[in-house]
A and B are shown apart, each in its own frame.
Chain A
Amino acid sequence: MDSALSLHRLHFAFTITYHYIFPQLTMGLAPLIVIFKSLALRSGDERYNKAARFWAKIFAVNFLFGVITGVPMEFQFGTNWARFSQYAGGVIATSLAMEGVFAFFLESSFLGIFLFGEQRFGPKIHWLAAFMVFVGSWASGFFIIVTDAWMQHPVGYEIAADGAAHLNSFWALLFNEWALWQYVHNMSGALVTGSFTMAALGAFYILSASQQEYGRMFVTLGVIAALMSSLFQLWPSGDKHGQLVAKYQPITLAAMEGLFHTESGAPIVLVGQPDTDRQELDNPIYVPKALSFLTHRRWEAEVKGLNEFPRHRWPDNIPLLYYGYHIMVGLGTIFIAITVMAGFLLWRNRLFRVRWMLWILMLSFPFPFIANIAGWITAEVGRQPWLVYGLLRTEHGFSSHVSAGNALFTLIGFMGMYTVLSVLFLFLMWREIVHGPDFFRGIKSSTVERVEAL
């Protein structure tokens, strides 16, 4: 744990994991807020505007935390991964810089108008501001995905005389086959987070018998959006993304599925702990032949196991990769089950009276966050031992002249700051939730009075 490489890896992994808690909610909520604003404009029903204003308050705090934890990421390529930056900057700095120039300016400019300009500028401009924030945040996601997709599957480049990668096709970079599916899968994942959060809050309001009307509104939109995005995650986006992994990163596929040995008619594993030393799974439960079908569309197809590949090309933390993947898929399956059930009850107009379903909706809200992060762990740990797949190994990319002592100093600094920020975040969110959509300064809502009476 004291080696500089491990610390720089942990530094980036920690800060990016913490950061991503926030943008997934931002990107997930943004389209839902646009939907509320659209409904408000069309129907003239002021309640939709109040709903939008309420979610804007949640959105604002969340967006701020996304920004302040995101700024370090732009810098961290240079600070902790200087050699990688020098190697790959000729390609990926294009997409990263574009994120700054296009997406960040767009979303930050219009966020100001969205949060503070409703009275001044009228409903149409306010709708436009909400829409632009949505576009900006999704554009931001696009450019980041393009960057990561290039690291997973480098395209559109050539190696120059100085040994660094140089871009030679802008469109190949932007329309990288890997990027397109990774993007839709990632954004749909964010929508799962946003919609589950909305449904969970709605369920809380109904269950606690406060803000019932808004509770029903949030549950309705939340469940519908959650159902659509959860299904989309499985097929087509998850499936297509998985096929890309099978095609271009077969070692990763074997590792994440726990397939130590080549098999025809290979199974997927539902549970089972990987033992890398003995190259087997403990207490596995299999679904026979399913992996062969998923990857090659033939039940008896041969899927290569880890044993086919040299050890130095294996991802260096197979258990973490395996669990990241299985947690993501396991949760994704549960989300489908929950949303199908809730969707059915909603269709039958019984959802708001079925308390156990509302409880499930309310309590499941942390899990999309976990699933999204598990997915990213799958992607990034799966890419190991490469920083740029097939071109640059991770151990050759870090800032070797920044000592372990300095890396640990700043890592501890970030951990400390983020602990404090977490407390602040939870406190602020709780206040907004307790106030509810009908709150304005000076007048307490019934929820506040009930909470204060406790």
Chain B
Amino acid sequence: MLIAYVVLDGFDLGAGIISFFVARSYDERRLILRAIGPVWDGNEVWLLAAAGALFFAFPSLYAASFSGFYLPLMIVLWLLMLRGVGVELRSHVEDPLWWSFFDFLFSFASVLLAIFFGAAVGNVVRGVPLNEEGYFFEALWTDFQVGPHPGILDWYTVLTGLLAVATLTVHGANYVALKTEGDLCERVRRAAGVGWWPLVVLTALSLIATLYVRPQALDNFNSHPWGWLIPAMVVVSLVAQPLCRLRKNDRAAFLASSLYIIGTLGGAAFALYPILLPASTDPRYSLTVENAKTGAYSLNVGLVWWLVGIALAIGYFTFLYRFFRGKVRLSDDGY
């Protein structure tokens, strides 16, 4: 569910970032907003639903991680509020000053959210200072070192944060290119092309850094060789993107960047499994699938309602995206 959130709301955030750099007029920014307008709220729901599902399946992991990551989570909440306001309220007043303010808010919140989300993944991979009770608390930063007492931001998580910005910018650009036409589309496509280089470099750097920070990451891959398909998928998705762009195949480029996200996040999960949240203090304190999961009855019942719910959600989303398919135009009603 978390991966679905990142693929979906990821392009909303990416659209926000790209809008700042590429759009040259109020109308162009309005078009970008139109591209994500009807879907951004539903996309954000995946985050809520994922948090709910996390709470449901692993209550002690939910409790530990949310209180331990208290500060960045609160900041993320404020940023989500600002992003939502930036998107929705922009068109309510016909005034360029109003538009400028909300467009900036939208972009500003989008890029910061990308950094924080990237840093969050970095924190999970790097490990957190869990104590024997199963709780921890991280200040925003300590000494920027990756030791037993890290902060939210250290050199590793800043790196993953930047990787997230690159990933979501390219992903968002691919989506906007898919939904727009003409000159704006050309520029956005080129921006995605430009963004691809830092994406590759940061991907490589992050991989090396990850192996340095968590050498055990390769263990699962070695014991389950089919897992190598995942990084293979990441490489393919990276290579595919400039090829798709050359052929002006925006849909394929977007699928490729989606696959990239699925691959990198999936790969991280695969590397950690069955650990859900590693402890930087003592490995015995790590939270695992076994020690964090909820009771068997809940899980069994959950299988039923969750499957029904997700099937319905996928149904609505297909309905929704189908209805709003095609290029966005200024003449549509709406934003």
Contact = CB atoms under 8 A, between A and B. Distances in A.
B53 A402 contact: no
B84 interface: yes
Contacts of A320: none
Interface string B72-104: 011001101100110011001110000000000
A80 B67 contact: yes
B264 interface: no
A422 interface: no
A64 B88 contact: yes
Query: Which of B42, B80, B136, B312 has the most C-beta atoms of chain A within 10 angstroms of its own C-beta?
Result: B42
A424 B89 contact: yes
Query: Which of A61, A90, A106 has the most C-beta atoms of chain B within 10 angstroms of its own C-beta?
Result: A90
A144 B89 CA distance: 28
A94 interface: yes
Nearest to B302: A94
Interface string B318-330: 0110011000000
A293 interface: no
Contact of B319 (A109, A167, A421): A109
A348 interface: no
Interface stretch (A68-76, A307-315, A365-373): A68-76
Contacts of A100: 45, 48-49, 51-53
B56 A74 contact: no
Contacts of A284: none
B56 A75 contact: no
Interface stretch (B159-167, B177-185, B196-204, B303-311): B303-311
Interface string B49-70: 1011101100110111111101
A78 interface: yes
Given A79-B66, A160-B295, A401 B302 contact: no
A100 B42 CA distance: 11
Interface residues of B, number: 64
Contacts of A60: 88
A78 B55 contact: yes
B195 interface: no
Query: Which of B60, B66, B68, B71 has the most C-beta atoms of chain A within 10 angstroms of its own C-beta?
Result: B66
Secondary structure at the A interface, as helix, strand, loop or mixed, is helix
Given A71-B77, A97-B56, A111 B41 contact: yes
A89 interface: yes
A8 B134 CA distance: 20
Contact of A401 (B71, B81, B136): B136
A168 interface: yes
A120 interface: yes
A142 to B, nearest CB: 13
Chain A interface extent, by class: 35 or more
B59 A406 contact: no
B313 interface: yes
A384 interface: no
A118 to B, nearest CB: 7
Contact of A89 (B59, B305, B310, B334): B59
B147 interface: no
Given A93-B55, A94-B301, A167-B298, A399 B67 contact: yes
A428 interface: yes
A403 to B, nearest CB: 8
A318 B308 CA distance: 44
Contacts of B59: 85-86, 89-90, 93, 164
Nearest to A91: B298
A86 B133 CA distance: 11
A112 interface: yes
B294 to A, nearest CB: 5
Nearest first, the 8 closest Cβ-Cβ pairs linking A and B are A78-B66, A89-B59, A101-B309, A166-B295, A112-B38, A100-B52, A100-B49, A97-B52
Interface of A: 60-61, 64, 67-69, 71-72, 74-75, 77-80, 82-83, 85-86, 89-91, 93-94, 96-102, 104-106, 108-113, 115-121, 160, 164, 166-168, 170, 399, 401-403, 406, 410, 413-414, 417, 421, 424, 428, 431, 441
Given A101-B305, A104-B45, A410-B70, 11 more contacts: A64-B85, A68-B80, A77-B62, A78-B66, A89-B63, A109-B319, A111-B41, A164-B60, A166-B294, A406-B137, A417-B81
